[in-house]
Chain A
Amino acid sequence: MLDKAPLGVSTIRLTVNGEAVTVSADPFASLANTLRDELGLTGTKIGCDAGDCGACTIRVDGEQACACLVSTGQAEGADIETVEGPGPDGLTEKLRKAFLAHGAAQCGICTPGMLMAATDHLARNPATSRAEIEDALGGVLCRCTGYLKIVDAILDVAGGSVLETPRAEGGNAVGARIARVDGWPKVAGTDLFGADDAPADALWMRVVRSPHARATFTLGDLDAVVAATPGLETILTHKDVPGENSFGIFPHTRDQPVFAEGHARFRGEAIVALVGTKEAVYGLSDTDLPIAWTVEPPVTGVGEARIDGAHVVHSGKPDNVLASGRVKCGDVEGARPTAAVIAEGRFETGFVEHAYIEPEAGFAVPVGDRMEITCCTQAPYMDIDETARVLGVEKSQVRIRPSACGGGFGGKLDVSVQPLLAVAARVMGKPVRIVYTRTESMSSSPKRHPAQVWARSSADGEGRLVSFELDGDFNTGAYASWGPTVAGRVPVHGMGPYKVPNVLTEARAIYTNETPAGAFRGFGIPQAAIAHETLLDDLAEKLKMDRWQIRRINALGNGDTTPSGQTLHASAGLPECLDALKPDWEAALQRVAEFNARSDGRKRRGVGIGCMWYGCGNTSVANPSTMRITLKQDGTLTFFNGAVDIGQGSTTVLLQMAADGLGLAPDQFDMVIGDTDLTFDAGKTSASRQTYVSGNASRLAGEDLRAKILKLANAGEDARLSLDGGTLTIADGQASRTIDLATLEADGEGIVLDGIGTWDPPATALDENGQGSPYGTYGFAAQTAEVEVDMRLGTVKVIDIVAAHDVGRAINPTLTEGQIHGGIAQGLGLALMEEYLPGRTENLHDYLIPTVGDIPPIKTYLIEDAEPTGPYGAKGVGEPALIATPPAILGAIRHATGVTVRQVPVLPHRLWESLNGESGS
Chain B
Amino acid sequence: MAAYFRPTTLEEALAVRAAQPVTVLAGGTDVYPIRANKVGWGDMHRDDVLDISAIAELKEIEQTADRLRFGALTTWSQMRRADLPEAFAGYQAASRDVGGVQVQNRGTLVGNICTASPAGDGIPCLLSLDAEIELASARGRRTVPIQDFITGYRQTVCGHDELVTAILIPRPPAGAVGDFLKLGARRYLVISIAMVAAVIAADDTGVIHHASVAVGACSEVAKRLHDLEAALLGQPLASAPDLIEHAHFAALKPIGDLRASGHYRDSAARDLVRDLFVRLSAEPKRRAA
Contacts and interface: CB of A to CB of B under 8 A. Distances in A.
Interface of A: 1-8, 10, 26-28, 30, 48-52, 54, 57, 60, 63-66, 68-71, 73-74, 76, 117, 120, 134-141, 206, 208-209, 211, 279, 282-287, 437-440, 443, 792-795, 832-833, 835, 837, 840-843, 845-846, 848, 850-854, 907-909, 912-913, 916, 918, 921
Given A49-B36, A282-B39, A28 B185 contact: no
Interface residues of B, number: 61
Contacts of B263: 909, 913, 918
A87 to B, nearest CB: 16
Given A69-B28, A843-B36, A286 B43 contact: yes
Contacts of A921: 256, 261
A913 B268 CA distance: 12
Nearest to B54: A1
Contacts of B247: none
Contacts of B94: none
Interface in B173-191: 183, 185-191
B12 interface: yes
B102 to A, nearest CB: 4
Contacts of A846: 191, 258
Contacts of B5: 2-5
Given A74-B28, A437-B40, A854-B186, 6 more contacts: A140-B100, A206-B42, A443-B40, A792-B267, A852-B188, A853-B188
A753 to B, nearest CB: 53
A65 B12 CA distance: 28
A70 B4 contact: no
16 contacts: A1-B8, A50-B36, A51-B102, A52-B33, A64-B101, A64-B102, A69-B27, A71-B4, A74-B25, A134-B187, A438-B36, A440-B40, A793-B272, A795-B183, A843-B36, A846-B191
B99 interface: yes
Contacts of B40: 437-440, 443, 842-843
A208 B42 contact: yes
Nearest to B45: A285
A76 B8 CA distance: 13
Contact of B271 (A70, A141, A286, A792): A792
Nearest to A74: B53
Contact of B41 (A286, A854, A912): A286
Given A846-B258, A851-B188, A853-B186, A139 B41 contact: no
Contacts of B51: 2, 27, 71, 73-74
Contacts of B44: 282-285
A178 B150 CA distance: 58
Nearest to A140: B100
B255 interface: no
A908 B33 contact: no
Nearest to A62: B105
Contact of A912 (B16, B46, B267, B272): B267
Interface in B6-65: 6-8, 12, 16, 25, 27-29, 32-33, 36-37, 39-46, 48-49, 51, 53-54
A793 B43 contact: no
- Most chain A beta-carbon contacts within 10 A, residue among B16, B46, B185: B185
B264 interface: yes
Contact of A63 (B42, B77, B190, B267): B77
A157 B89 CA distance: 32
B260 interface: yes
B3 interface: yes
Contact of A73 (B4, B259, B264): B4
B22 to A, nearest CB: 10
A780 B51 CA distance: 57
Contact of B186 (A28, A73, A851): A851
B271 A139 contact: no
B29 A51 contact: yes
A10 B49 CA distance: 14
B1 A26 contact: yes
